[in-house]
Chains A and B, each alone.
Chain A
């Protein structure tokens, strides 16, 4: 870290992760600056989702450190990490399928105790995601994929997080919803929430990200400002995205 640079909100430093004998991360180091959108790109089995799990405390690294706002997250449980101000939009949304949309969104505020403000925030979510207004009492599992993604994002915002981590937010969505979701991520970010997202769809992710990292079999092979990476020919060599990435 150069002197004078602001302390990053989230920093993974020299993280090594193993599943049994198999090493998943090799000296992984990633930083997310305050107020930025940082994107982690990579193909299948590159260790992207495991990076998310490390941040959320669902998987413990064998060595290395993860700090959030200067304090280490190592050894904290997932609920404790959530209380520090990190919210998540998990892969494939992971809504509580048999609970109503309203209950799902309110579950996001589980760590909060200020009822009145929570009620206000729910209204705020309905202005941000107007489509959900008519769906509030519906079973979350009955929604379309795109609508579910909206609920998952509203749910994450309800904890008033300082950072949201998102695992493939555009996966399995129709093109219409992909644009909508990216637009919303930008909106959320403009309200001061830092975003760390994992994506397979490189060209789309680089549209909205400030910085990006490219992960290949557990190692960072490329990183830098998103604008620079977008035109970097190496990104296609290092990272072979899906057909729509071209």
Chain B
């Protein structure tokens, strides 16, 4: 029997854990204006180092904490030195994307080293509960609270009384001015990454002990929760991050108390979206503070796109169109079908992220909306599959645009955070809205693709169908880009203030971009649903969103042909080299890192 006091204690303890992650994020954002998406991976690494220390080396608890902190700090320093410092003079999106790539690489390395199966992480503390008022509290709760308070105190002393701490504060308020006082910004970056990683690693270990279980899915969840807490407290605001974390912990805990466990994350992301929309600078930011993300135009790497003559494109398209007439294996067709589906998603994302500059990290949610709509239309209302897929596209265009519209007033990194959160919300609504979506069971027995009453069962027909749909969408999008509308999109991307000064309505044009992009993604999701015949809330996950982003960057942001080329390359090359599935995500992460470092404009150039 749990009391309100228990939920409060639980909320504060969980909030403490979030705070350890969020404070690191806030320190890094303060100094580098960067949301470190690899923070959750360090948390994961910390949990597994803790497991090695406790289970294999049998270290006592204080030593375990020190080992985890030091090892995680080293990982943080390596990330800063080799992942981010080379990008100092790159476009602003580069470090953000690099941290996403680093997080994929780290998560996969942990998974490959320790296997994806969950492990138990014993806390070594006596299993007793003390009665406190109407609730209970255990030694581990006290440990977490103690570590949280001690870290906060140490951090306070460091920032307030040490020379390096002063440098950190000065650099986070005005980097250039700090340099002119003689502050070496690289050392400051090292310091904050080291501290953030140590805190994140210890946090991961504590959470592992709290639930007595660790697995590789922890990483993304930790990043998301840390980002939520940090943004709620005001990006870059260290005390704000602590308060934001405790608030998040309490909101989640009370939400769980009232609605049940599966609603925990829904509350976290709703809190984020509400704060982003109402107070994008966080709950504690003073109103006159300038938003920390003043630029839009410099977000995309400028380049001269590679011009491909029309006849070459026509020849390539014809080549792919007649491919099934030759004796190619089922396997090749299957691979290319996947590429065409990913290509449609990439078309959508390259329009939204590249052409109008709203880097979306939640694009898989659009697939989910299209897939669920099409599946339910055909199953429940017996709508013919072809029409159902179009219905999926239309629903996705409408609902996707509606969901994203609160974030239209945001810029840069904040758009990415908002889209990530909205993507998670979609997946959580699907999970919890059982009467419509069938909840965690998912939808099975979705009818196969069919056109005008004829089922498309053979790989050849599915191939032709998906290829044709993708080509039509690509032609439409190519036409769009050369039109007045396309020019307006790019104007908004390059300078939204100037675009507004010329009378462009940001809301209208962003809506149009998401309507078109949402339609393409919804069609892709719809086709996928009928192809897979079974979907659930996890079919379209964040990994796919990031894969789509990698495809789009590989091809060149905004580049229509590039999006398709990127999809073929990223789906096809691992098949050509017969890379085992568990290494693929590692490869995608490495590809993303290399691209950001050496060719941010992609293969065919940004447009």
A residues with CB within 8 A of B: 56, 58, 77-79, 82-83, 87-88, 90, 94-99, 103, 106-108, 110-111, 155, 159
Contact = CB atoms under 8 A, between A and B. Distances in A.
Contacts of B170: 96, 99, 107, 110
A150 B378 CA distance: 73
Contacts of A108: 181
Contacts of A107: 166, 170, 178, 181
A103 B182 CA distance: 15
B279 interface: no
Contact of B180 (A82, A97, A103, A106): A82
B599 interface: no
Interface in B150-190: 163, 166-167, 169-170, 173-174, 176-184
B169 A79 contact: no
25 contacts: A58-B180, A77-B179, A77-B184, A78-B180, A79-B179, A82-B179, A82-B181, A87-B180, A90-B176, A90-B177, A94-B174, A94-B180, A96-B169, A99-B170, A99-B173, A107-B166, A107-B178, A107-B181, A108-B181, A110-B163, A110-B167, A111-B181, A111-B182, A155-B181, A159-B182
A34 to B, nearest CB: 22
A99 B168 CA distance: 12
A79 B174 contact: no
B173 A97 contact: yes
A58 B174 contact: no
B160 to A, nearest CB: 9
A110 B179 CA distance: 10
Contact of A83 (B174, B177, B178, B182): B182
A163 to B, nearest CB: 13
Given A96-B169, A99-B170, A110-B166, A79 B177 contact: no
Contacts of B180: 56, 58, 78, 82, 87-88, 90, 94
B26 to A, nearest CB: 13
Contacts of B184: 77, 79
Contacts of B182: 78-79, 82-83, 110-111, 159
10 smallest A-B Cβ distances: which pairs?
A: A111-B182, A82-B182, A94-B177, A78-B179, A96-B173, A88-B180, A110-B181, A79-B182, A110-B182, A79-B184
A110 B180 CA distance: 10
A91 B505 CA distance: 34
Nearest to A112: B182
A87 B182 CA distance: 9
Given A77-B184, A103-B166, A96 B179 contact: no
A95 to B, nearest CB: 8
Nearest to B286: A141
A97 B176 CA distance: 14
A94 B171 CA distance: 12
A83 B180 CA distance: 10
A94 B169 contact: no
Nearest to A53: B176
A90 B229 CA distance: 35
A159 B181 CA distance: 8
Nearest to B179: A78
Contacts of B178: 96, 107
Contacts of A83: 182
A79 B176 CA distance: 10
A87 B181 CA distance: 7
A79 B184 CA distance: 6
Nearest to A89: B180
Contacts of A58: 176, 179-180
Interface in B120-172: 163, 166-167, 169-170
Interface string B445-479: 00000000000000000000000000000000000
Interface in B300-318: none
Contact of A79 (B163, B173, B183): B183
A111 B163 CA distance: 10
A94 B176 contact: yes
A58 B89 CA distance: 12
Nearest to A57: B179
Which of B179, B180, B182 has the most chain A CB within a 10 Å cutoff? B180
Nearest to B163: A110
A110 B183 contact: yes
A107 to B, nearest CB: 5
A112 B174 CA distance: 20
A93 to B, nearest CB: 9
A97 B178 CA distance: 12
Contacts of A94: 174, 176-177, 180
Contacts of B163: 110
Contacts of A155: 181
A41 B163 CA distance: 37
Contacts of A79: 179, 182-184
Nearest to A99: B169
Contacts of B166: 103, 106-107, 110
Interface string B276-310: 00000000000000000000000000000000000
Interface in B344-389: none
A96 B174 contact: yes
Contacts of A90: 176-177, 180
A7 B167 CA distance: 35
Which of B169, B173, B184 has the most chain A CB within a 10 Å cutoff? B173
Nearest to B237: A98
Given A82-B180, A110-B167, 8 more contacts: A58-B176, A87-B180, A94-B177, A94-B180, A96-B169, A99-B173, A107-B166, A110-B166
Contacts of A111: 181-182
A183 to B, nearest CB: 24
Given A107-B166, A110-B163, A98 B181 contact: no
Contacts of A103: 166, 169
A78 B180 CA distance: 6
A163 B174 CA distance: 22
Contacts of B177: 90, 94-96
A226 to B, nearest CB: 26
A22 B208 CA distance: 56
A28 B384 CA distance: 74
Contacts of B167: 110
Contacts of B169: 96, 98-99, 103
B594 to A, nearest CB: 25
Contacts of A95: 174, 177
Nearest to A78: B179
A78 to B, nearest CB: 4
